[in-house]
Amino acid sequence: MSACVRIRHDHTAHTSPPSRASGIKRPHSPPPPRRGGRFRIAGADLSASITVFLIAVPMSLGLAVAMDAPLEAGLISAAVGGIVAGLLGGTPLQVSGPSAGLTVVTAELIQIYGWRTTCAITIGAGLLQILLGSLRAARGALAVSPAIVHGTLAGIGVAIALAQLHIVLGASPQSSAAANALALPEQLGRTSPAAPLIGALTIAVLVVWPRLPGRIGRAVRRLPAALASVAIATAVAAVAAPGITRVDLPSWRSHALPELPQGPVLALATAVLTVLLVASLESLLAAVAVDKLTADRAGGRTADSSPPAPDAPAAPRVQRSDLDRELRGQGIANVLAGLLGGLPVSGGAVRSSANVRAGATGRAATVLHGVWVLLAAGLLVTALEWIPLAALAALVMVVGFQMVNYAHIRNVHKHREFLVYGATITGVVLFGVLEGVAIGIAVAVAVALHRLARTRITVTDQGGQHLVVVRGQLTFLAVPRLSRALGQLPRGGDAVVELDGFFMDHAAYETIQDWSDAQTAQGGHVVFTGRSGGRIAEPASAAHSCCRPWTPWRNHHCHDRPDRSGQPVDARRAAATGAAFALEENPRADQGPAGSAGAEADARAVDAADAADAAAGSTGRSDTPGDGAAVPRRTGAHRLASGLSSFQRNTAPLVRDELARLAREGQRPSQLFITCADSRLVTSMITASGPGDLFTVRNVGNLVPPPGAEAGDDSVGAAIEYAVDVLKVESITVCGHSGCGAMQALMGTRPDTPRTSLWRWLRHGLPSLERMTSRHHAWARISGRLPADEVEQLCLTNVVQQLDHLRAHESVARRLAEGALQLHGMYFHVGEAQAYLLAEGASAGSGVDEVFDRVGPCDPNHSHPYDITDLSDPTSLTALGDPGDHAAVSVPTGAAGPADPTGSGELERTSA
C-alpha cells in the first residue's frame, strides 16, 4: 500500500481534553450553544485591512479615470463593495470594489447614455445577480470554456491598456480600442514630456518595489507597491511638474444620483446583460481563485510551492466560498452602488490576493477596508487631489497588461484552444465584450464540431492481413467513409483495426460490430487495438459471465436473482455496464466495440434493467415469465460456486503467470496489514495491491492483543511474529473503519454481559474504551472536523491504542529500535470510500497529535485553471496561471469538493 500523500502535522492538538469553555465538544456530548453572530476583529484583520485600503484608494481613482466617471464614484464603489459585499458575500476574504473587467463597458455606457442612466443600468444588473444567486445559478457561470473567459479578460485588458496609454501621454482616450490604437502614432508626435515621465516613474516603481534587496528592502516592501508608486510619483510631480493634470474631486453636493433609464429598451437590456455577465464572471472566478490561494496558505504553501518553516504558526482556517451567496452579495452591493451613484462592483483579484497574503482571517478585514475608504473620501480630499492623473493611468495600464496572462496563453495553446482564445480577444477589442464572448462561443462550437467530424481512415495490406487505421472520432458523419473502407476488405479475411480516438457514437459502433460479426462468421479473424497496439477487450457475450475479468470484486451480486426472462438481474446490469468498467481499467478501451458507443448503448440496458426492477417491486424477488411464482434467491453454495466459476473463466487466465511466479519464488510481502473482518473492507481494492503485496490479518475489531494476554489469543501474535521475523516486512498498518460493529458492541458492554467467545475477544478493546474516556490522552480525531459520533471516536482511538499494543511485542520493538520497521495507523470511511492516515508522530508513538489526515490523489493537475494576481508583487503575476506549473500543489484542501463538507483547507481526497 503506497499512500502518496504528505502527512501534515497538526500542532494544534491538546495534550489533555479541553475545558467546556473552549467550545470543543466530546463526540458523545451535546453540541455547545452557538454564539451570537458577533463581529470579531483580529489583529491580522486590522493590519490586512490597512494594506488593502492603501491599494484600493489609488486603484479606485484610477478606474474612475479610465471609465471617464466621477472620481468620487470610484470611492463609493470601493466603500460599498468592502462593507456590503464583505458582510453579505459568500467569500469571506474576497475584496470587492470597482470592476477592472467592466472598465471598457462602463466607459462606453457613460459615453452613450450618460452617468445617471449608467447608474440605473448598474442597479438592474445587481437585481439580476440577486435573482440568479437565489436560483443557485452561480456554478453554471463557471461552465464557460476557460479559453473564452481568459480571452474576454485579456481583450478587456488590451482595451484598458490602450486607453490609459493616451492619458499617460497627456491626452484623452478615444471611444474604442481600435480608435485608440489608430490615434496612437499621432499622439506620440505631440506629447509633452511631463506626463509620460511621471507615468514611466510609476511603472518603474511598480516593477522594482517588490524586488528591493536586503533588510531595508524587506522592511519597505510591507508598503504595497501600488501605494508606493503613486506616492513617489505624486511627490516627484509636486516638485518637478507643478502644472501637470491632477485628480479633481468635485464637491459631494454636486454628486449625481441615478435616474430612470432613457433609451431603446433592447439596447438598455443588452447593456444590463453585459454588466451582469462580466461582473458575475469576474467575481465568481476571483472567488474560486481566492479559495485556492487561501488553501495554499492554510497548507503552508506559497506561490512557488515552497514548504513552510518548521516553526511557522498554523495558518488560520477560512470558510470555503458559497458561490450563490457571493453572487447575491455582489448583486446587493451593485444595487446600493448604483443608488448611491457609484461604479459597478465586482470581486477584485488584486485586492483579494493582497488581503489573503496580508494574513486576513475573516470578513473583518474586507469590511474595515471599506470603512477606511469611506473615511478617506470624507477626510483626505485635499491629499488625494495632489495625485497626477498620469500616475493613476499608469497604474491601471499595468492592471490591463496583467490581464493578458502568458500562463493562460500557454495553457490554451497546450489544449489546442488558442483559436478560441484569439477570436475572443479580437472580438472584445474590435466590437465589445458581449460581441466578443458570442464570437468566442461560436468559434469554440465550430472547433468542437471540426474535431468531432475530422476522421481519417486508411487501409493497408500487410501480406494477407489488412490493417485499418482510424484517426479521430467515430460519429455518424464518418460512417459512410468507414463502411466504404471496411467494404474493400476481402470477406473472411484477417484484419487488425487500430482505433485512435476517444469517442464512438452508436451508429459507428453498430457499423464496426456488424462488419466484425460478418467477418468472423465467414472464417475471418478481427482484432481491435489502440494506437499503442494493445488489444482492446471484446464485449461480454450473453453466453459468458456477466462481469468483467478486471473487476472481479464487482461479481458479488452477479448471480443473485433472475429477472422475468430468467437471467439474473444483477448479471444483466453488470453486462450492461461492462463497457464502463472497461473504460475504468483500460483507458484505450473506449476506442473499440466495447468502448464509448458500447457504453452508450449499454447504458440504456441499465435503464431498462432498473425499470424492470422497479416494476417487479422491492420485495427481493422477481417473477418468472409464466406463472408469477416467486423464484428464490441463490443460496450461499450456489453463489460460491458461481463466483469460483467466474474466477476460473475470466480472472484466472489473467493472473495465472503472476501467481505461478509467486508459487516458485515464495511470498515476499513488504507490509503486514491488520484490519477488521468486516465484509465491506476489501483490502486489495482500497490499497491498490495485488497478490504477494500484503500479509493480511483480519479479526473482529482489528484488535492486537498485548503480549502476555490470556491463552487463546496467540493467533494474532503468531502472525505478527512470523511477518516481522520471517517475512521481514517493512511496515505494519492497523486499519479501522467507520460503522464498526465490534466498537458498537464494546460500547454496549455491561457487567452482566454473557461471557461468550465474542466478549472474551472484545476484552482486548477495553483499553481503547478507557483511553477514549481518559483525561490523560488527546482525542483521536479526523483532521478538519471532530468525529461524527462516539462510535467513530472509538474507532479512531482503537487504532491508536492497538498501535501501542503492537509496539509492546518483542519482535516489533526490536525491529523498531533497529530502524527497519515502520508502524502506520489508518481509518477507512466506508460510506465516503475515503482513507485517512494517522500523523507520523502518533503512528511512531513519539507525538501527541492523534490526527488522521485525508489521503489525497497523486495527480498534479488538480489545480483550478483560474488564477489571481497581486499588483503589489509583480513577481507573482503568473504564479497561479497554469495548473501544469504546480505539480506540487494538489487540490486545495477547502476547495476540495463534495468529500470535504467542512471546507477546512486541511484535507486532501484519495482514490484507491
Q: CA-CA distances (angstroms) from residue 726 to 669, 707, 719, 890?
A: 11, 19, 10, 39
Which of 328, 737, 815, 864 is catalytic? The answer is 737
Our answer to whether residue 4 is catalytic in this structure is: no
Q: Which residue of the set 546, 547, 558, 740 is catalytic? A: 740
Alpha-carbon dihedral sign for residues 149, 151, 157, 163: negative
Q: In which residue are the cell numbers 509636486 written?
A: 238
Can you read off the three cell numbers belonging to residue 686? 482500497
- DSSP type of residue 21: G
Distance CA 789, CA 792 (A): 5
Residue 825 in contact with residue 838, Cβ under 8 Å? yes
Q: Among residues 678, 693, 853, 870, which one is catalytic? A: 678
780, 852 contact by CB (below 8 A): yes
Q: CB of 448 within 8 A of CB of 159?
A: no
Helix 479-487 × helix 506-521 angle, to 10°? 10
Q: Could you count the other beta carbons within 10 Å of the beta carbon of residue 571?
A: 25
Q: Which residue has the cell 474576454?
A: 152
- Pairing label, strands 834-838, 851-854: antiparallel
Rounded CA-CA distance 373/72 in Å is 11
Judge residue 832's burial from the number of C-beta atoms within 10 Å of its C-beta, 0-12 exposed, 13-18 middle, 19 or more buried.
middle
Marked catalytic residue, from 547, 676, 735, 795: 676
468: enclosing H helix or E strand: strand 465-472
Query: Is residue 740 annotated as part of the catalytic site, yes or no?
Result: yes
Q: Considering 680, 760, 785, 814, which one is annotated as catalytic?
A: 680
DSSP at 562: B
Stated as kind and residue range, the H or E segment containing 398 is helix 389-403
CB-side exposure of 770: number of CA atoms within 13 Å? 7
CB 891 within 8 A of CB 856: yes
Is residue 560 packed enough to be buried (19+ CB in 10 Å), middle (13-18) or exposed (0-12)?
Answer: middle
Rounded CA separation 787/825 (Å) = 16
Q: Catalytic: 676? A: yes
Helices (H) and strands (E) in the chain — how many of each? 35, 13
What 3-state DSSP class applies to 67?
helix
CA distance 669 to 695: 6
Contact predicate 76/337, CB 8 Å: yes
Cβ atoms 904, 389 nearer than 8 A: no
DSSP assignment letter at 404? S
- Clarify whether 678 is annotated catalytic: yes
Q: Is 461 exposed, middle or buried (0-12, 13-18, 19+ CB in 10 A)?
A: exposed
- Which grid coordinates are listed for 829? 470511511
How many C-beta atoms lie closer than 10 Å to residue 308's C-beta?
15
| Collapsed DSSP state (helix, strand, coil) of residue 373 | helix
SS3 content of the chain, % helix, strand, coil (to 5): 55, 10, 40
Alpha-carbon span 813 to 816, nearest angstrom: 5
User: Is 735 designated active site?
Assistant: no
Integer Cα distance of 761 and 264 in angstroms:
83
Q: Measuring CA to CA, how many Å separate 704 from each of 589, 808, 839?
A: 44, 10, 20
Using DSSP, state whether 760 is helix, strand or coil: helix
Question: For the residues of 796-835, what is the DSSP string, one character each?
Answer: HHHHHHHHHHHHTSHHHHHHHHHT--EEEEEEEETTTTEE
- Could you tell me the strand order of the sheet in which 694-699 lies? 694-699, 671-676, 731-737, 822-829, 834-838, 851-854, 781-782
Residues marked active site are found at 676, 678, 680, 737, 740
